[in-house]
Structure formats: C-alpha cells, structure tokens
C-alpha cells in the first residue's frame, strides 16, 4: 500500500430520519459516534480520520474525544454525498466512508475491500457484506440486504427480503432459512477520490429514492460495486430498540465475565 493515501471520513448528521441525534446516544458510557471513531482508529491504513457533520452538537462531541471535524451542508442527499463534500480539499487517493451508526464495525470490513480496491485498478468503489445469521434480520427494513453475482459484484440491494425463494420459503419454518444464504450490507464504502467526486455529481437515482440506499445510485448509473464478504457481523443502530438490544447483549457479556 505504498504511495497510496487513504483517508477515513465518518459522516454524522444530526437529523436522522429514524432517530434524531442517534450518534450521540450512549452505549454503556460511550457515544455511538465515539465508538465508531475508535473502531476506525484500529485501521492502520488510514493516514487521517475525520468526522463530517452538519451540526454543532456533533462537532462539539467529536472534538471532546479528540476527533478532527469538517462542517458540511445540511442538504446532503446521503452519507457519501456528505463525505464527498468534506473530501473536496483533502489530498487522498482513496476515501473511506464509515457510517456513523456502526459502533462495532470490524476492521476486516475496511481492510478486505481496501485490498481489493488497491489490487484492481479497474475498480472505482468497494464495500463489505456478511451473512445474515438472525432470522429477524431478514425481515427488518433497517437491514439492507444485498444480492451478488458470481464475482461478488452487487446485482441489487434492498430493505426488503432478497432473494425471495418462493418455491420453498416459509416464514415460520426455520429449516427453510438454511436453504438460502442471505447477505446484509455493512455500512462502509471505499471510493477512489475521483469516483467519489463523480458520484456526488450524479443526480439521486430513482431506485435510490425508493429504497433510500445510496449504493443504488452507483448501480443505476452503470458502475460496478464490488463486495468483500467478511465473517464478522456488524450490528448497526437505527432505532431506540437497537440501542436497548445492544445494551442488553453487552450486559449479558459482562455478566458472563464476572
């Protein structure tokens, strides 16, 4: 990875549609945003890490735990658009967008797609996905599902259940779940900087509007989105229920250690 500058930007808006100010909510004494930032610090390839935000509260919180911040417009259409705005004056070859609601994102979710992007100059953008292991996640509209071709390029991504195995699928029969492998998208995108600039210049696509998934802008405009499959899960935070579930899981883990 010599002579390649990789910068991480964590886009963190305040007015999240599902839970306002969610990145400032605490999980056992530490905000979601700080947890994401600390996970990003574990990636050795990053020369710099920034938090891009549209709100003074988030900027102040980020500065308290030592993060560099870049203020952006409130009119960004997606996290990647906010990252593109923040990256305009930065000197980098690759810009990594780690979404601010991924407090447990594994380093493999960055390192594996980063290697793929560096090794293949024809690629413009990569991301990560993992197997869905929990039955409830395949029906959860907050979980972005992803369907891949034989070379692990994205065919489509949706908040709905995809693929839908109509011939033998039964919602209440657990054995049927084992016949199909479902994948969920992990909230990370790795862009070559020039392509990130091009992405931000594209109008919001029709499918992106419908699904509210920015990766569909890439697909609809005819570009390839390569996916690195990783073993580790990465539970994201979208609702208060997600926060309660994560707190409960952490408490259970702590009790087992005692």
For residue 133, what are the domain limits?
A: 6-237
Q: What's the CATH code of the domain at 36?
A: 3.90.550.10
Please indicate, yes or no, if residue 74 is contained in any of the structural domains. Answer: yes
**Does pLDDT of 1 surpass 50?**
no
Q: How many domains does the chain have?
A: 1
Q: What percent of the chain has pLDDT over 90?
A: 73
What pLDDT, on the 0 to 100 scale, is given for residue 162?
94
Question: Span 214-235, mean pLDDT?
Answer: 96
Other beta carbons less than 10 A from residue 122's beta carbon: 6
Please indicate, yes or no, if residue 249 is contained in any of the structural domains. Answer: no
What pLDDT, on the 0 to 100 scale, is given for residue 241?
83
Please indicate, yes or no, if residue 96 is contained in any of the structural domains. Answer: yes
* Digit-coded pLDDT (tens) for 22-55: 899 998 889 999 999 999 999 999 999 999 999 9
E strand spans, the chain: 6-12, 26-27, 30-31, 46-53, 68-71, 94-98, 125-131, 145-148, 154-158, 183-192, 226-229
Please indicate, yes or no, if residue 157 is contained in any of the structural domains. Answer: yes
Reading the block at residue 175, the tokens are 């054995």
Other beta carbons less than 10 A from residue 29's beta carbon: 6
Among 91-105, 108-122, 176-190, the least confident range = 176-190
pTM: 0.91
175 confidence band (pLDDT: 50, 70, 90) = low
Please indicate, yes or no, if residue 1 is contained in any of the structural domains. Answer: no
């Amino acid at each position: 990875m010599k002579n390649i500058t990789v910068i991480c930007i964590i886009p963190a808006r305040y007015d999240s549609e599902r839970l306002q100010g969610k990145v400032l909510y605490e999980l056992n004494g530490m905000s979601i945003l700080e947890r994401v930032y600390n996970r990003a610090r574990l990636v050795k390839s990053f020369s710099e890490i920034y938090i891009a935000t549209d709100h003074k509260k988030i900027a102040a919180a980020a500065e308290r735990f030592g993060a560099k911040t870049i203020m952006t417009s409130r009119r960004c259409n997606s996290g990647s658009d906010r990252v593109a705005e923040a990256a305009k004056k930065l000197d980098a070859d690759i810009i990594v967008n780690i979404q601010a609601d991924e407090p447990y994102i594994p380093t493999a979710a960055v390192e594996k797609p980063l290697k793929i992007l560096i090794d293949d100059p024809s690629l413009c953008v990569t991301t990560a996905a993992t197997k869905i292991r929990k039955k409830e996640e395949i029906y959860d509209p907050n979980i972005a599902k992803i369907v891949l071709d034989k070379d692990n390029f994205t065919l489509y991504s949706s908040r709905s259940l995809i693929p839908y195995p109509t011939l033998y699928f039964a919602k209440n029969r657990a054995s049927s779940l084992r016949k199909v492998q479902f994948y969920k998208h992990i909230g990370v995108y790795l862009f070559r900087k020039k392509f990130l600039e091009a992405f931000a210049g594209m109008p919001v696509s029709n499918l992106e509007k419908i699904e509210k998934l920015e990766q569909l802008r890439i697909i609809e405009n005819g570009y390839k989105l390569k996916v690195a499959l990783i073993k580790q899960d990465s539970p994201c935070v979208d609702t208060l229920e997600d926060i309660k579930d994560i707190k409960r899981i952490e408490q259970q883990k702590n009790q087992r250690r005692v």
